[in-house]
Structure 1
Amino acid sequence: MRALLLASALLLSAPALGPAPAMAQAPDTPPTAAAAEQGFRVINRTGQPATALHAVRSGRPDWGNNLLPRPLPDDAGYRLRPNPQAGCRFDLRLVLQDGREAVARNQEICAQRDVTLDAGMVAAAGSIVRPSPEQPTAPQALPRPGVRAATGTGFLVAGERVMTNRHVVDGCDRVLVRGPDGRNHAAVPPARTDARLDLALLTVPGLSGPVLAFRQDPPVRRGEGVVAYGFPLTGLLSSDAKLTRGEVNGLAGLRDNPDQIQISAPVQPGNSGGPLLDMQGNVVGVVVSKLNAQAVAGRTGDIAQNINFAVKGERAAAFLRAAGVSPAAARSNGTDRSAADVGEIAERATVFIRCEK
């Protein structure tokens, strides 16, 4: 039976092979109490004018568009009004007249209505300045050239803890995890694993950020919309994450596997270990495999189309609790979000995994 399963299900680890603005803007003058009542302000106290201002959700790997319609003088402020879905934590950057930058990361703008970037935060263009308190600067773990590598996906379930598939990290000499901010971190062995569920829990020092919540209720139903998020076909497709949408087709996996659900959201090698979310952004599964269409065609003469599987969310949550991690939980009884909104939730907590052998 095990040989048949391996012939019929294809595990999805892979050999190693920009968005709309979140801001409305308005020019402003130096700080006053009244100016803090709406949105938040970025105040330039660097000693020279700023030619560009960038403000993005914390953890986003790029800086997005310049928000300034004209240079911002020294000792002046610029008001930003984030969209409600953007959250409260932002990374901010001023590009100065001489080409240098002032950067402040992980700013809590819901409580701190004035964010000042001063001369002590200025560095050469491209430098990383003033990391968040939760993420102190540390040497970045870099991929090693000339080694065999495979890739997969994972997601944050607690501070410095990442869930993925066991087969993504099985037999690795080193596991690198690239966080949403683009920095690489080395996972610390050993991983906590479950061979039956094909799940693994990694400890990744220095990696922090929002976690994804597991759906608590109601039970998942056939026909529900789902979103798969991950890093398929690395080296062939672009290096950014990919989102696919589909439905829950069945409440069991291959040969009535009670630990899995069947989904139609397209997945490819590299999606393994990525989150499967419902349309409210809560985890209902962990992507694990797709049906091996070639093997099925050889046995039946028919080509199976878009048959994919995920470990059930409740099984994954129970695995975490057994490993000493209390997963975040949420009810999915509100209004469904768009796939794009669900993708933004996933983006903040989904990581790229590189297994070096």
Structure 2
Amino acid sequence: MTLALQAGGALAQQAQNRFQIVNRTGQDASAVYAVRSGRPDWGNNLAPGPMPTEKALTLRPDAEAGCRFDIRLVLADGREAVLRNQDICATPRAVLEPGAVRAATATAPTQPAPGAPNPRARAVSSGSGFVVATDRVLTNQHVVNGCDKIFVRTADGRMLPAVPPARVDANLDLSLLVVPGNPGPALPFRAQPEVRRGEGVIAYGFPLPGLLSSDPKLTRGEVNGLNGLGNNPGQYQISAPVQPGNSGGPLLDLHGNIVGVVVSKLNASAVSQRTGDIAQNINFAVKGTAAVEFLRRAGLTPATADSGGTERSAADVGEIANRSTVFIRCER
């Protein structure tokens, strides 16, 4: 990351690959930090010297750093001024004013689980999830059950650690993860009308990682039944093909709203042994209404939207899902 401290209060015109940190706290800053949101430490002091008030520090981050940054000034009186989750692509100037000043507390911009993914972890499994509120990711309980560490890979390629504990409903097979660092925008759940048999749906996620490519996959199908395995009233039966790794991913209607959480596929081998026939393409999803109630019990108010008017194409729904669907890595 390159930088330049500008004299005076005037700000230079921004280049697309630059952003500025402006000290308007009313006192000098002895240190300046800017790190990608979700990083577990503040890194190195970026200021070449004391940064007086009304001065601007121009930074040129690496292209792969993304758009979201946490910013911190250490002030002359020992306090600090902090701005978090700043979108420097949309607003290439971060102004720290007296309202951002506080007593010095943690040395990290967030409190994520320490460390980074361990390539030598003794056991690794994976699944899918999606963003349901700021820094909150919904997935299946069985995807994260027994994990020592959980990481999510966002649509823009960042690997963010989840912070324990997770909120779990084992009966629904749902788990709500806390993932600081802005993993993506929240997807809305369908409010009205009620889901009917035969409606088109889109499943989105990361099936068969390590065998297929690492990018997310989209499959299209229909709601076949309004109850799940064993007449489970909390699930839908769907025909959208799913594979191991799809678990926890979103099921969307053709307006781009969440109607379910992909949870499982029928064990065709077990059915064949029992019936002598091979069951084909029988899959299940937790109902969106059940997921909304779980989130409300967890203290969230998930976004909702009505599904009406012209349906979108599968490709358009996929673009909506892509911004908010994450790959989940579980280390044991």
The answer to whether residue 264 in structure 2 is matched with residue 314 in structure 1 is no
Q: Equivalent residue for 2:85? A: 135
**CA 1:283–1:141: 2 relative to 1, 3 Å:** farther
**Per-residue deviation, 1:131:** 3.3
SS in 1 for 2:175: strand
The answer to whether residue 119 in structure 2 is matched with residue 145 in structure 1 is yes
**CA 1:260–1:45: 2 relative to 1, 3 Å:** closer
- Would you say the 8 A contact 2:139–2:174 is kept in 1? yes
**CA 1:189–1:130: 2 relative to 1, 3 Å:** closer
Distance 2:65 2:132 in 1: 30
The answer to whether residue 132 in structure 2 is matched with residue 157 in structure 1 is yes
- Would you say the 8 A contact 2:128–2:205 is kept in 1? yes
Letter in 2 for 1:301: G
**Per-residue deviation, 1:178:** 1.1
Letter in 2 for 1:333: G
- Would you say the 8 A contact 2:17–2:60 is kept in 1? no
**Per-residue deviation, 1:255:** 1.3
The answer to whether residue 213 in structure 2 is matched with residue 247 in structure 1 is no
Q: Equivalent residue for 2:266? A: 291
**Per-residue deviation, 1:265:** 0.3
What aligned pairs does 1:218-229 form with structure 2 within 5 A after superposition? 218-229=193-204
- Match 1:348 to one of 320, 323, 328: 323
Letter in 1 for 2:147: C
Please list the CA deviations of residues 55-102 of structure 1 after superposition, one character each: whole Å capped at 9, or x if unmatched. xxxxxxxxxxxxxxxxxxxxxxxxxxxxxxxxxxxxx659xxxxxxxx
- Match 1:194 to one of 169, 175, 178: 169
Give the paired residue count: 249
**CA 1:45–1:218: 2 relative to 1, 3 Å:** closer
**CA 1:93–1:229: 2 relative to 1, 3 Å:** farther
- Would you say the 8 A contact 1:141–1:185 is kept in 2? no
Q: Equivalent residue for 1:339? A: 314
**CA 1:205–1:253: 2 relative to 1, 3 Å:** same
Q: Equivalent residue for 1:122? A: 60
**CA 1:356–1:127: 2 relative to 1, 3 Å:** closer
Query: Structure 1 length as normaliser, TM-score?
Result: 0.65
SS in 2 for 1:120: strand
List gaps (5 residues or longer) in structure 1: 1-42, 47-91, 95-104, 106-118
- Match 2:157 to one of 182, 186, 189: 182
Query: Structure 2 length as normaliser, TM-score?
Result: 0.70
Distance 1:244 1:270 in 2: 13
Q: Equivalent residue for 2:40? A: none
**Per-residue deviation, 1:177:** 1.0
SS in 2 for 1:229: strand
SS in 1 for 2:85: coil
List gaps (5 residues or longer) in structure 2: 1-11, 19-35, 37-56, 71-82, 87-108
- Would you say the 8 A contact 2:17–2:61 is kept in 1? no
Calculate the aligned-residue CA RMSD, in Å.
2.6
**Per-residue deviation, 1:188:** 1.0
What aligned pairs does 1:83-122 form with structure 2 within 5 A after superposition? 120-122=58-60
Please list the CA deviations of residues 19-54 of structure 1 after superposition, one character each: whole Å capped at 9, or x if unmatched. xxxxxxxxxxxxxxxxxxxxxxxx9865xxxxxxxx
What aligned pairs does 1:260-279 form with structure 2 within 5 A after superposition? 260-279=235-254
